[in-house]
Structure 1
Amino acid sequence: MANIEILGVPHAYELTAPMSSCPHTLVFIHGWLNSRGYWQPVISRLSTDLQCLSYDLRGFGESQSHAKTDFSQIPTSASLNSISNSVVGSTFDSLYTPAAYAQDLTVLLQQMNITSAWLIGHSLGGTIALWGAAQMPECVKGVICINAGGGIYLKEAFEQFRSAGQKFLQVRPRWLSQMPLIDLLFTRASVARPLERYWARQRVIDFVVADPEAALGTLLDSTTEEEINRLPQLVSQLKQPVYFLAGAEDKVMEPKYVRHLASFHRLFQYCGDNVIEIPECGHLAMLEQPDAVAEHIQAIVNSQQLTVNS
């Protein structure tokens, strides 16, 4: 594990060796209350052929700092000018919008001299990846969203989700991770089949250590009516290929909502060419079905590379 400072906050990351066979780096972005470690089952299958970068989002995992960043001093990427004002709007008004996290990612890739990347994001990380593609059109060659979709604001459902999330975050004493058998609750949450207890324990740890402000801020700022309604327009304006992997049994982000967002991209072509549904899979595809996820990622990147070279 290494650290790099981004806008005053130390960010933990792991980078595998570069591969001469592929010029791109796969950049893995985790979801809410998760950390970079959840990608390891997939990265272990891909890193023999592709360079892989995983990192902890600001305020999660090991990317934490008590110092607060002044985002008013962040230069907005020139590439943002290509997106209409109605899309950008007030995306940088908060520290915790997906666009603000994408700006962190922009700085990360610049500091690491990564000039050609595929962004792979899980859940909230998928939204961050879409914003990253908009902010870095020259660098980002494509996006793969995993268990991520949406673009439909259902007022009552989102109000319930936000309320439940806030209550969930209020019960996070440090000693929770030491409670006997507490991890058993996390083996079954949001998945089609129980996870190994190792991953359940990791979920408890990440839940407990997440910075309170970041945990609440990302929950609230990523689920506003404005933010949800902005997603389809964002996807429709992306020039890069965008693919979506959906868990057939995902109850958090149901396949129908994944398909809805995917349909705004040119690759959808009326029949969902850019959507891949993984059977017997819930909301944590990279842990539940790492072989399938890795195979799909490799196939997508390879096919796009062949398209570029042909």
Structure 2
Amino acid sequence: MNELKAAAVPGRERSAGRAAAASATSARSRGGARRWVEAGALLGVGAAAAAWESARRRDLRRIEADPAGVALFERPRGEERDVVAPDGTRLRAELFGPDDAPPLVLVHGWTCARRFWAEQLHALADRYRIVTFDLRGHGDSEAPAGGDFSIDALADDLQAVLDATVPDGRRALLVGHSLGAMSIVAWAGRFPDEVERRAAGAALLNTGVGDLIDQSLIVKLPRGMRVAKAVVGGIFLSASGPLPPASPISLRAVRYVALAPSATPAQIAFCQEMVLACRRDVRAGCGRTLSRLDLADAIASLTVPTTVLGGGRDRLTPPPHVERMAAALPRLAERVELPRSGHMGPIEDPHAVNAALERLAVTAGVAPAVAVVS
């Protein structure tokens, strides 16, 4: 029996050895698999980072090579002036051109700044007395102490700018883009007695007077989901979270939301820079105003010759807005559609926009001595 026990011990030891060896092999196998997974993950991260950097550099090369960037990023410099709104908010205005030239007041839109009008300054500042200003909270203008970004406050701001920059007895062409155009319509409704005294004509570019969320093409949902679209649209307009830094993704997001596929790299980058520079509280405050905007009654007070212009590829204020405004205006001067343009018409198709403004000046009887009307 002892001999059998003695003989069995080496067998157990060999079995245990084989088990240990198998366990070690299994551990090495798991460790190897884990290292392969880790290596694969690192390779994936590295590949993604390389692709991201490649896209970023490619975008930069395209932007730098785009001739449109010269006019956009190297805008003229004018005479800066501070204007104080009725509620005490300080607005930064800038004036260009000869003092005795016909006044042209340019009002930019949501999340932009007065430099939005770079193309118009290059083309028109030698023949017009151009006034630009930053909407409250935008660019170099102060944000209102009480957080008032209402459309009435924006109308009051426009009245203050006109009082400070357009001499008595002179009538200006009022040109607004998006929220800037809405501010002009709101001004007309708020100050109807001032309209024909202060304005010779008006141009409403890429804008609307209501139903902005319902008509928007940013989020496309079936007709039966209007409530869901209203919720999503309201969140989009009034979101106060920080925007991501400039990147290949943000560049493409700005193009999708605000420009047409035909927009050039410099045009997209210029718009991206303005949007990302806008303060988040200002973006949200004005967005809330846009989400509940209704100027259907006010537009009847805009009793001067008025041009309405829209982009055929505008997702934010698509063509039905142009049709609605054209039908409601007391003195429609011209209806213009830029079929290949998105929401940023003055940037995407500046020659067509500038020509439309010059035609309006002729219609309104305030054209300079030399004007391009074709």
With normalisation by structure 1, the TM-score equals: 0.77
- Distance, in Å, in 2 between the alignment partners of 1:112 and 1:18 is 13
Letter in 2 for 1:101: L
The equivalent residue for 1:159 is 231
The equivalent residue for 1:149 is 208
What SS does the aligned partner of 2:210 have? Answer: coil
Letter in 1 for 2:128: L
- Distance, in Å, in 2 between the alignment partners of 1:297 and 1:97 is 28
Are the equivalent residues in 2 in contact too, given 1:25–1:118 (CA < 8 A)? yes
- Distance, in Å, in 2 between the alignment partners of 1:158 and 1:50 is 42
Return the offset for 1:145: 0.4
Letter in 2 for 1:240: V
Bigger proportion of residues as helix? 2
Find 1:39's aligned residue among 109, 117, 122. Answer: 117
What SS does the aligned partner of 2:109 have? Answer: coil
Structure 1 residues 25 and 11 mapped into 2: Cα distance closer, same or farther (>3 Å)? same
Return the offset for 1:68: 0.7
Whether 2:145 is the aligned partner of 1:68: answer yes
Q: State the superposition RMSD in angstroms.
A: 2.6
Return the offset for 1:183: 3.5
- Distance, in Å, in 1 between the alignment partners of 2:253 and 2:232 is 21
Structure 1 residues 161 and 300 mapped into 2: Cα distance closer, same or farther (>3 Å)? same
What SS does the aligned partner of 1:63 have? Answer: coil
The equivalent residue for 2:275 is 207
The equivalent residue for 1:102 is 155
What does 1:218-297 correspond to in 2, within 5 Å?
218-224=286-292, 227-228=293-294, 231-268=295-332, 274-297=334-357
Are the equivalent residues in 2 in contact too, given 1:251–1:283 (CA < 8 A)? yes
What SS does the aligned partner of 1:162 have? Answer: helix
Letter in 2 for 1:161: G
Q: Note the residue ranges of structure 2 that are not aligned, 5 or more in a row.
A: 1-77, 215-225, 368-374
Are the equivalent residues in 2 in contact too, given 1:172–1:207 (CA < 8 A)? no
Return the offset for 1:242: 2.0
Deviations 1:7-51 (A, max 9, x none): 33332222112364x5x3111111111111111102211122211
Deviations 1:170-211 (A, max 9, x none): 1336xx14x577445434542123544444344333333323
Are the equivalent residues in 2 in contact too, given 1:190–1:252 (CA < 8 A)? yes
Are the equivalent residues in 2 in contact too, given 1:187–1:196 (CA < 8 A)? no
Structure 1 residues 41 and 68 mapped into 2: Cα distance closer, same or farther (>3 Å)? same
State how many pairs are aligned.
268
What does 1:76-87 correspond to in 2, within 5 Å?
none
Structure 1 residues 100 and 265 mapped into 2: Cα distance closer, same or farther (>3 Å)? same
Find 1:13's aligned residue among 93, 97, 104. Answer: 93
- Distance, in Å, in 2 between the alignment partners of 1:208 and 1:149 is 24
- Distance, in Å, in 1 between the alignment partners of 2:166 and 2:142 is 23
What SS does the aligned partner of 1:205 have? Answer: helix
Deviations 1:260-285 (A, max 9, x none): 122111235xxxx6311112111100
What SS does the aligned partner of 2:82 have? Answer: strand
Structure 1 residues 211 and 6 mapped into 2: Cα distance closer, same or farther (>3 Å)? farther
What SS does the aligned partner of 1:277 have? Answer: strand
Larger Rg over CA atoms: 2
- Distance, in Å, in 2 between the alignment partners of 1:145 and 1:198 is 25
Return the offset for 1:113: 4.2
- Distance, in Å, in 1 between the alignment partners of 2:235 and 2:366 is 46
Return the offset for 1:306: 7.1
More relative contact order, 1 or 2 (CA 8 Å, 6+ apart): 1
Letter in 2 for 1:238: L
Are the equivalent residues in 2 in contact too, given 1:187–1:199 (CA < 8 A)? no
Deviations 1:237-256 (A, max 9, x none): 33222220111221211112
Structure 1 residues 114 and 194 mapped into 2: Cα distance closer, same or farther (>3 Å)? farther
Letter in 1 for 2:129: Q
- Distance, in Å, in 2 between the alignment partners of 1:290 and 1:56 is 20
What SS does the aligned partner of 2:328 have? Answer: coil
Letter in 2 for 1:52: I
What SS does the aligned partner of 1:27 have? Answer: strand
The equivalent residue for 1:131 is 186
Are the equivalent residues in 2 in contact too, given 1:121–1:127 (CA < 8 A)? yes
Letter in 2 for 1:118: L
